């Protein structure tokens, strides 16, 4: 099979498709308020979208034997960006409910399980999208703001919501929407967490949950990328089940743990998950809501849907640290350090 490539003009294709689909009413964009909290001295972006609470839930089939609705099977033409691969192995579609503008998705053309270990073609297709964004960065080295953040949710504790295998894509520049770029506001220190772990490896020891990382480059081959992903996955399984031998952990089939995976143009990261989220309480100890975290936690972001949750977390950032401690394996020296370079 020829190398999997993404369109060279992918950023402009995504931007144009998002604008047209939004204007046509085929997707919904949920504006947010944003604050940056300190979690163990690490800047975490907290967003609040009150309208997200009214997001429509997928209708359950009236016939219990009917196949659940699959948003990635036969998507609307207005939501489709491009096929990937020759012959096509994946399709790029817009996210129907966007918190970050230009949020799009890489889904397998054939229905594959979200709970299975990623195949080489999945990693290769995701990397092709990342490279398309990196190669379109002509802004004098400000790649941190112009790149692509890819994340994958797998398993019941990961924040996954669709059974059809898909990786999600967020333009990093759009992840900064609402943050103060003047250098004087609270958002000046925020940056994608995985990239910070690469430039400051010891930062991983401050994280409340274990994150495994591997440095990559534009020259890393698809085979080496997939090998690195499998290494991270096996190490994560070992963190959850210390008695297992890494060499005996299968490289395909159903994953043995819940986890989040992320990729940028310089790093791959993976964190095992033991819980999707936790309750949020006010200063009096009353439960006011629940914070659920998905793969965007590896970017250093979190989302709440109610004002009570928003106020509680901003009033006590330590509560965010407590939530992060409960979602995964507790961090330990070396857990956030690089496993190698490719």
Cβ atoms of residues 238 and 246 within 8 Å: yes
Least confident piece of the model among 63-67, 139-143, 210-214, 331-335: 139-143
H-helix segments, 31-159: 120-135, 143-146
**CATH number of the domain within which 84 lies:** 3.30.428.70
Residue-level pLDDT at 137: 72
* In a domain? residue 1: no
Q: What is the mean pLDDT of the chain?
A: 90
pTM of the model: 0.92
pLDDT given for residue 340 in this prediction: 53
Query: Distance between CA 325 and CA 244 in Å, rounded?
Result: 23
SS3 for 40?
coil
**Domain contains 188:** yes
Rounded-to-integer distance, Cα 47 and Cα 170, Å: 15
pLDDT the model gives residue 183: 47
How many Cα atoms within 13 Å fall on the side-chain side of residue 268? 26
Q: What is the pLDDT of residues 3-54, one digit of tens each?
A: 999 999 999 999 999 999 999 999 999 999 999 999 999 999 999 998 877 6
Domain region containing 257: 10-52+73-341
Residue 36 and residue 200: Cα distance in Å, rounded? 19
**Residue 2 domain-assigned (yes or no):** no
Query: To the nearest whole percent, how much of the chain has pLDDT over 90?
Result: 78
- Whether 294 is covered by a domain: the verdict is yes
61 assigned to some structural domain: no
pLDDT at residue number 259 = 98
- Is residue 86 a part of any domain in this protein? yes
* Cα(247)–Cα(320) distance, integer angstroms: 35
Angle value at C-alpha 154, between 61 and 342, nearest 5 degrees:
150
The pLDDT > 70 percentage for the chain reads 89
Q: Could you report the per-residue pLDDT of 184-223, keeping only the tens digit for each?
A: 456 778 999 999 999 888 888 899 999 999 999 989 999 9
Q: Are strands 90-94 and 287-292 parallel, antiparallel or unpaired?
A: unpaired
| Count of domains for the chain | 1
Domain membership flag for residue 288: yes
Say whether pLDDT at 330 is over 70: yes
* 59-77 pLDDT per residue, tens: 565 666 667 788 898 899 9
Do the beta carbons of residue 342 and residue 224 sit within 8 Å?
yes
CA separation for the pair 86, 228 (Å, rounded): 24
Q: Is residue 58 part of a domain?
A: no
């Amino acid at each position: 099979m020829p190398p999997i490539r993404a369109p060279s003009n992918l950023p402009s294709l995504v931007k144009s498709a998002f604008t047209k689909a939004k204007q046509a009413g085929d997707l919904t964009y949920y504006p947010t308020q944003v604050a940056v909290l300190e979690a163990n001295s690490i800047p975490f972006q907290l967003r609040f979208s009150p309208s997200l609470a009214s997001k429509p839930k997928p209708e359950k089939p009236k016939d219990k034997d009917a196949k659940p609705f699959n948003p990635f099977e036969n998507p609307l033409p207005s939501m489709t960006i491009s096929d990937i691969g020759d012959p096509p192995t994946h399709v790029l579609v817009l996210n129907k409910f966007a918190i970050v503008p230009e949020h799009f998705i890489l889904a397998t053309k054939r229905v594959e399980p979200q709970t299975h270990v990623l195949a080489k073609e999945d990693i290769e297709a995701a990397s092709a999208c990342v490279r398309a964004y990196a190669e379109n960065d002509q802004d004098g080295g400000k790649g941190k703001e112009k790149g692509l953040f890819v994340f994958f949710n797998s398993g019941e504790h990961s924040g996954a919501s669709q059974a059809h295998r898909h990786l999600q894509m967020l333009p990093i520049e759009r992840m900064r929407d609402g943050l103060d770029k003047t250098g004087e506001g609270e958002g000046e220190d925020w940056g994608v967490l995985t990239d910070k772990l690469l430039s400051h490896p010891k930062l991983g020891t401050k994280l409340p949950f274990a994150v495994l990382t591997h440095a990559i480059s534009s020259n890393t081959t698809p085979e080496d990328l997939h090998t690195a992903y499998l290494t991270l996955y096996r190490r994560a399984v070992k963190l959850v089940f210390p008695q297992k031998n890494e060499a005996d952990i299968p490289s395909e089939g159903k994953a043995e743990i819940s986890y989040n995976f992320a990729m940028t143009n310089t790093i791959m990261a993976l964190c095992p998950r033991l819980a999707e989220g936790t309750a949020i309480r006010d200063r009096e100890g009353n439960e006011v809501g629940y914070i659920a975290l998905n793969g965007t936690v590896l970017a250093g972001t979190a989302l709440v849907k109610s004002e009570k949750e928003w106020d509680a977390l901003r009033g006590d950032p330590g509560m965010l640290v407590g939530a992060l401690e409960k979602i995964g394996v507790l961090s330990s020296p070396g857990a956030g350090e690089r496993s190698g370079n490719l």
